[in-house]
């Protein structure tokens, strides 16, 4: 899968429109390979995210902090949510958060991860949800990964490249603003190795059609 550099939303795909009601959206700025906040109409109008201390934004070791947007997790609270990301890596990484809200306390333990199996994992309120039916994604190609929740104690769905790979009941949770929102960071001081492009957070559960539409917004 080759990521398109076209920033347009595009039209309907598989009967669903690409959603435009995200809480936050980040894209790689092709001029300097830094992650930037996207404004309305998919225009890159916001600031570049700050580099995570010690990381090297050279396409090999990449990590950012989006702490200014950490309040979105309090907006979600115990309600529905969706995380979506385009990822690319050639290695099996040890517990790297594609995106994660804080560390430590259960209320801010909400992370979409990539593990040493080469497969995604979601962690919330101290509970891990693996996606064993996912393919090994360490093939140095672009993949889209998404997780949706219908709300605390409701249905948790995971998707890889538009296909459902997880369907279970999620634990109870009440997300809060921990003041921290990291992208591409491990708890042990490591960073994402490869590419991250297109990070979305929603305060609702995306439909399967919307996820497929987002995955298909590539060339």
CATH number at residue 38: 2.60.120.200
Other C-beta atoms within 10 Å of 153: how many? 13
CA distance 52 to 191: 9
From the number of C-beta atoms within 10 Å of its C-beta (0-12, 13-18, 19+), residue 13 rates as middle
pLDDT digits (tens, 9 = 90+) for 123-161: 998 899 999 888 899 898 989 999 999 999 999 999 999
Tell me if 11 is assigned to some domain: no
Q: Which pTM does this prediction carry? A: 0.85
In the structure, what pLDDT confidence band is assigned to residue 185 with cuts at 50, 70 and 90?
A: confident
Choose among 13, 99, 7: nearest CA to 45.
7
CA distance 160 to 166: 9
Q: What is the number of structural domains in the chain?
A: 1
Tell me if 16 is assigned to some domain: no
Tell me if 5 is assigned to some domain: no
Mean pLDDT of 64-89: 89
pLDDT digits (tens, 9 = 90+) for 16-56: 678 889 998 888 766 656 777 776 544 444 555 655 555 55
Alpha-carbon dihedral of residues 107, 110, 34, 218, nearest 10 degrees?
Answer: -150
Query: In terms of pLDDT, which residue wins out, 203 or 67?
Result: 203
Mean pLDDT of 73-82: 94
**The two structure tokens encoding residue 11:** 């039209």
Tell me if 17 is assigned to some domain: no
Tell me if 4 is assigned to some domain: no
């Amino acid at each position: 899968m080759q990521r398109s550099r076209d920033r347009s939303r595009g039209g309907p795909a598989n009967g669903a429109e690409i959603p435009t009601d995200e809480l936050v959206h980040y894209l790689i700025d092709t001029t300097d390979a830094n992650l930037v906040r996207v404004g309305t109409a998919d225009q890159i109008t916001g600031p570049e995210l700050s580099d995570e201390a010690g990381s090297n934004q050279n396409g090999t070791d990449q990590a950012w902090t989006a702490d200014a947007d950490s309040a979105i997790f309090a907006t979600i609270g115990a309600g529905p949510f969706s995380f979506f990301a385009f990822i690319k890596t050639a290695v099996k990484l040890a517990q790297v958060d594609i995106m994660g809200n804080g560390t430590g306390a259960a209320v801010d333990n909400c992370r979409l991860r990539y593990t040493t199996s080469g497969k995604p994992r979601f962690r919330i309120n101290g509970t891990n949800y693996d996606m064993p039916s996912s393919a090994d994604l360490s093939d140095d190609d672009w993949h889209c990964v998404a997780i949706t929740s219908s709300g605390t104690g409701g249905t948790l769905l995971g998707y890889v490249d538009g296909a459902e790979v997880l369907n279970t009941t999620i634990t109870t949770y009440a997300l809060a603003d921990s003041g921290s929102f990291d992208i591409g960071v491990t708890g042990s001081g490591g960073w994402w190795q490869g590419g991250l492009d297109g990070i979305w957070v929603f305060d609702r559960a995306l439909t399967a059609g919307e996820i497929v539409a987002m995955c298909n917004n590539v060339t």
